[in-house]
Structure 1
Amino acid sequence: MFACDAKKLRDAWKRRETEIVGIDAVPFNRFAIQFTAHSILRELNKAFVGFYGDGQPPEHLSAIATGNWGCGAFGGDKELKSLLQLMAAAEANRDVAYFTFSDRVFMQELHRVYVELITAKCDVGRLFQLIGQYADEEVRSTAGDPNLSLFEFISQQLAEEVDGE
């Protein structure tokens, strides 16, 4: 997730091989709106289309350098947006270099959840289900003021699945 081979990032003239893709961000003036099925699918599909390598073999594609897309002024939830980007990148067969812009706590939390997802062998489909479950159980049932963050909820669900085995 966080590593890439810099030697592969040069073309025949030794220039860095880069491609810049702009993905529009939707402003979310209420926390709960971004957790609707429509919003989740829209953001996931936009990220996938932006990350898709036009059919090139994955070994010929550079890592996606991304960050807190749609957060900040647009009001997006960093936890949701980071997971949607990781899901889209996984489906597009792309590595990710995720930049948290000096937010050390978020960096550690994202890495912790990523390790938990990998350890649990959680695929994109299961993560999509967990996000939907969080939306139902934590966001909608509390009128948009959840008791747990998305990362906390996912960690809790994965731990319960391990304990149940």
Structure 2
Amino acid sequence: MSELKDVPRMSQRRFRSSIGKADDNEEFAIEKWDNIKIEHYIEIETKVSIPGFMEKTISQFISRFTRIPIRDKSTIKFVIKSPYNNVKIKWFWKVRNVGGIAISKNMIRGQIINDNSLVHVEPINFSGNHFVEVYGVKNNIVCAFGRIDVKLGDIQNI
């Protein structure tokens, strides 16, 4: 866990870049829950699986390529370590596709999904900047939050 002063900003409608003519189906924690009192920043660990490469973390790929290469049947597994071992917490995930390709394909996404799991797996489909947020909710209050940026590139980048 990180110090709360180091927590990245939670996505909010007022800070969002333009979505052009894409459908606006993005959800925001501040609009979904009654209260947000972050007690813990959750670090999100990753495992990137790309055919032809050894499994690596996002930071290991970024240090080599600046973006994660895209190939068929590639996935990213997002894993959180919860500080709430014996507490009833519901876990929600948000995956947001950002940028021109997401807008042109009308796939900006950004819905908050309750899969109540510490692990979330996403396919790698197209290039652009994306982000993933996780929210820990107890008694309808967001008490834990984590975020990771995901930069996906084209196969030509490798």
TM-score class normalised by the smaller sequence:
under 0.3
Taking structure 1 as the reference length, the TM-score comes to 0.26
Q: Which has the higher helix share?
A: 1
Relative CO higher for 1 or 2, CA cutoff 8 Å, sep ≥ 6?
A: 2
Which of these two proteins has the greater Rg computed from alpha carbons?
Answer: 1
